[in-house]
Amino acid sequence: MKNVIFAGVGGQGVILASKVLMEVAMKKGYNVKESEVHGMAQRGGSVDCHIRFGKEVYSPLIPRGRADYVVSLELLETMRKLDYLNKNSVLIVNREQINPAPVEIGAMKYPDNIEEWLNQNFASTIVVDTAAALKEAGTKKALNIVMLGCLSKYLDFEVKDWEDAIKSQISEKFLEQNLKAFHLGRELIK
């Protein structure tokens, strides 16, 4: 069984990214379960999705310490998911900072050492800079698909399977941008 967590901020497209992954896994004949942990996601709160696929899946929640991949679309959100990592996990993090309300109103500080701390303490940390890819794709909204492209380098699915899944979840109008974003995401992982 594979366990993947997507984490991010409401509006970043975490749920859509998880839907694409579920679609890929389902089409490949795996049993799939997904669980969303969000509180009023549309209002800018934290969002995460647990996706599990394999021959047999019981719990829709990934137990702590059991994630194979944690894909975080925002630096701070990564720090809420550290409990899910084990020594074999891979952590993919988008180098982007979105200030939460307590920081916006000056009540708290956004920690300035997250990337450094992760690199020091967790060897399989891959911090990606998606800014250039998003510029080339022509839309910042495709961040979720860029990150999916990063993840795809680690999972055992064909590029075509991913493309089909993206087609099934994204409307015709935005498809070309998103397919491009997916491939640009793949290129971010060496």
Positions 118 through 137 that interact with other proteins (CB under 8 A):
121-122
Question: Candidates 103-111, 144-152, 155-163, 171-179 — which segment interacts with other proteins by CB under 8 A?
Answer: 103-111
Q: Which of 2, 4, 6, 9 binds other proteins (CB under 8 A)?
A: 9
Q: Is residue 42 at the binding interface for other proteins, with CB under 8 A as the rule?
A: yes
SS3 labels along the chain: CEEEEEEEECCCCHHHHHHHHHHHHHHCCCEEEEEEEECCHHHCCEEEEEEEEECCCCCCCCCCCCCCEEEECCHHHHCCCHHHCCCCCEEEEECCCCCCHHHHCCCCCCCCCHHHHHHHHCCCEEEECCHHHHHHHCCHHHHHHHHHHHHHCCCCCCHHHHHHHHHHHCCHHHHHHHHHHHHHHHHHCC
Q: Is residue 141 at the binding interface for other proteins, with CB under 8 A as the rule?
A: no
Q: How far is the CB of 10 from other proteins (least distance, A)?
A: 7
Residue ranges in contact with other proteins by CB under 8 A: 9-10, 22, 26, 31-46, 57-61, 63-65, 76-77, 79-80, 82-83, 85-87, 100-103, 105, 107-111, 113, 117, 121-122
